Amino acid sequence: MSKIAFLFPGQGSQSVGMAQELAQNFEEARTIFESADNRLGFSLSSVIFEGPEEDLKRTENTQPALLTASTAVLAVLKKQGIQADYTAGHSLGEYSALVAAGSLSFEDAVYAVRQRGLFMEEAVPAGVGAMSAVLGMKQADLEDITQKVSQNGHAVQVANLNCPGQIVISGTAQGVADAASLAKENGAKVIPLQVSGPFHSSLMEPAAQKMEKVLDTIEIRNAEVPVIANVSAKPVEEASVIKENLVKQIYSPVRWEETVNELMALGVDTFIEIGPGKVLSGLVKKVNRRATTIAISDEASMNAAIEKLKGE
């Protein structure tokens, strides 16, 4: 029997108009957008549907917007009776995965990630931090470089272990620049990322401390299906561990390659990316070409996916 994992994207997958068609055509999707607006006290849905892109790209908007769009897609998919054996999400997407697994209510999650975005934005002044993607380098070699640079007083570390040969580094602007030049000397290609802060680095610890207080105020339940945690790449169901992981997650690497390998080892062969874009589907294929990936972001991709899943 084939097993299914639901995957949820993180920052960078957002686009103006995401899930708008589903909200127009399906009441269960529309309800999610209305819930987000009510819980946050402003019209997040108009930022999502109308933009402008500059507003949607602000971290404190991007995070709740992606969670809302993904959960709206999920609501329509669930109505069709499609269930997951496991869930996982990339960074912010972990909150969407926890909503899908019944560990967080959508209303609590959308409030939490709005705060998460604000805290991450506040943690480091603009221009002080940076992130870059390093292509074509082994993890151990890159970690040696980041340790060397950090010992010289400029903090930098691996932040996203996305797939073989694609690792994101994060830290101070100087630390990232120094690590990038050493990586290039070792034959790697380096692409600076357009982000507003050094996410998943030790510079985010102030945000993690504030996030812990927010998580104290919301109900986190045991997950109904196991969620693969970013920080450990292992399945988690227990509420207390989920909470602990969400705090650590802000300043720890996203172990995505290991997450995909863990899901494959658990018997998953079908990965359904729920929400805008196809970033995670691409990463899954780079980790294991044999995996079946399905990306659902609108009505056409929803119909195609249901036909494929129900036809099996």
Q: Is the pTM of this model over 0.85?
A: yes
pLDDT, position 284: 98
pLDDT tens-digit series, residues 171-182? 999 999 999 999
Shared domain check, 270 and 149: no
Q: Which of 143, 163, 195 is the last residue of a domain?
A: 195
Question: Annotated active-site positions, please?
Answer: 91, 200
Return the percentage of the chain with pLDDT > 90, whole number: 96
pLDDT tens-digit series, residues 207-219? 999 999 999 999 9
Q: Which residues contact 161 (CB under 8 A, 6 or more apart)?
A: 139, 167, 253, 254, 255, 256, 257, 258
Structural domain of 254: 3-123+203-311
CATH number at residue 181: 3.30.70.250
Averaged pLDDT, 234-256? 98
Shared domain check, 141 and 8: no
Averaged pLDDT, 76-100? 97
Shared domain check, 35 and 133: no
pLDDT, position 312: 56
pLDDT tens-digit series, residues 17-61? 999 999 999 999 999 999 999 999 999 999 999 999 999 999 999
pLDDT, position 191: 97
Averaged pLDDT, 65-81? 97
Counting the structural domains of the chain, the total is: 2
Residue 255, classified by CB atoms within 10 Å of its CB into exposed (0-12), middle (13-18) or buried (19+), is: buried
